[in-house]
């Protein structure tokens, strides 16, 4: 296997500072590099559909919430893990495209529900199939067992790092 840039960096630190263990860089450095690579390879289908950064996240959250495909801005914010202000900007873009609509919540006249339109459901269903195929392709260098192991390790790392968040 060819040495990657992260290994080279860790090796340089090992040479320059043998008193330090640079091995955490082998994981964290690769995670950072993979984040950029994955973003570049996952974004094209969304860009081709005219969606801005994060717009598909909103559509997908609404679609997977089940019929009637409606959530409040607060629920979307918690699901998509961004602020309600960011949700509002995304919803404005999606509403202008006719992919979502806003309505008054029956339970609270001050609240607003964001709901997928029929066109939004159709586009989301098309894009999720493309997105999952793309993800499968990106993971094809790993066996099914390796993918399962990696998913478990990443879940454990995520839990460990976010356990104190609340």
pLDDT, tens digit (0-9, with 9 covering 90-100), for 42-65: 999 999 999 988 999 999 999 999
Sequence-distant contacts of 76-82: CB under 8 A, at least 24 apart: 76/114, 80/54, 82/54, 82/57
Helix axes 84-96, 55-64, angle to 10 degrees: 90
Topology (CATH level 3) of domain 52-123: Arc Repressor Mutant, subunit A (1.10.10)
Dihedral over Cα of 108, 110, 116, 119: its sign: positive
| 75-117 pLDDT, tens digit each | 999 999 888 888 999 999 999 999 999 987 676 656 789 999 9
Higher pLDDT, 53 or 141: 141
Residue 68 neighbours by CB distance under 10 Å: 9
pLDDT above 70 covers a percentage of the chain that reads 93
Across 129-154, average pLDDT:
97
User: Domain locations in the chain?
Assistant: 52-123
**How sure is the predictor about 2, in pLDDT bands with cuts at 50, 70 and 90?**
low
Q: How far apart are the first and last CA of the chain?
A: 41
């Amino acid at each position: 296997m060819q040495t990657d840039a992260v290994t080279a960096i860790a090796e340089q630190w090992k040479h320059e500072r043998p008193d330090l263990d640079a091995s955490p860089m082998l994981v964290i450095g690769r995670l950072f590099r993979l984040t950029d690579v994955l973003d570049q390879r996952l974004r094209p289908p969304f860009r081709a559909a005219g969606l801005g950064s994060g717009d598909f996240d909103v559509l997908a959250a609404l679609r997977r919430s089940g019929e009637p495909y409606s959530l409040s801005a607060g629920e979307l914010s918690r699901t998509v893990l961004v602020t309600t202000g960011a949700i509002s900007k995304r919803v404005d873009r999606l509403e202008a495209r006719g992919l979502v609509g806003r309505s008054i919540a029956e339970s609270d006249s001050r609240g607003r529900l964001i709901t997928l339109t029929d066109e939004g459901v159709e586009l989301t269903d098309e894009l999720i199939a493309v997105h999952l195929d793309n993800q499968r392709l990106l993971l094809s260098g790993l066996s099914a067992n390796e993918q399962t192991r990696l998913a478990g390790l990443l879940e454990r790392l995520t839990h460990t790092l976010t356990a104190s968040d609340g």
